[in-house]
Amino acid sequence: MVFPLYDDNPFKRAKVPYVTWGLILLNVGVFLLELGTTDNAVKALLASFAATPAAITHQVPPAGWLPPELTLFSYMFLHGGWEHILGNMIYLWVFGDDVEDALGHVRFVAFYVLTGIGAGLFFAWLNRTSTTPLVGASGAISGILAAYLLLRPCAKVSVFVLRFVVRVRAYWVIGGWVLLQLYQIANQANDGIAYVAHGGGLIAGALLFLVMRPANVRLFECVEQPGEEGAAVT
């Protein structure tokens, strides 16, 4: 088991990440509502709010009342289980505040939504006839990882690995995650995880961040952490 815990970022400013916190609360709130419904209600929820590629590409009629195009937004707030939502929210917690800090609150909202839509479209385009519903914030969070890598590749991230906590540069954490997604896509992994949507989110996030970032936000800023002058890069 490998997942990030927090980052040590010397570029962080005093902005309070209201949007990141709000997104986490919204996702968790919707998930708790899912838990409190019956199996039939969950099926109806997926039919109406999950993004089904075949419905989006008009290969089949929509199964729910929401227009398929709008499910490219709503699918981001549904999750398939505790592991799914906890994994997504941990990554959003660790990396989202830095991207929000760089973009500002309003731009970050637009970035998050557009990246999630881009990931959903990419998945639907490559799986036009699939009737398997897509749910989860992973596509949008993949875009946040791409933006973070463009911003702070050298920031130290504390990562839980097996039973240990180690501190490594962000480019190792995110780069390793990207390589895993590419490996799973290349091998057509069939474990129920939409790796293609992750790839679409990475592409959308990188392109959108380059377009949306304010002029005073520099890319690839790397400085040593306080007290680590001359430390080797891990």
**Residue 43, number of CB atoms within 10 A of its CB:** 14
Would you say residue 228 has pLDDT above 60?
no
User: What are the structural domains of the chain?
Assistant: 7-152+190-212 (1.20.1540.10)
Total residue count of the chain as it appears in this document:
234
What pLDDT does residue 224 have?
Answer: 59
Q: What is the mean pLDDT of residues 13-27?
A: 90
Q: What is the pLDDT of residues 72-87, one digit of tens each?
A: 999 999 999 999 999 9
Alpha helix locations (H) across the chain? 18-35, 39-49, 53-56, 71-74, 82-103, 105-126, 138-151, 170-186, 195-212
| pTM score | 0.91
Query: Which of 109, 222, 111 is CA-nearest to residue 156?
Result: 222
Q: For residue 132, give the DSSP letter.
A: P
Nearest-angstrom CA–CA distance, 161 and 153: 20
Q: How much is the average pLDDT of 99-103? A: 95
Collect all residues with Cβ–Cβ distance below 8 Å to 65 and sequence separation of at least 6.
Answer: 48
Reported as a single tens digit per residue, the pLDDT across 108-167 is: 999 999 999 999 999 999 999 999 999 999 999 999 999 999 999 999 999 998 888 999
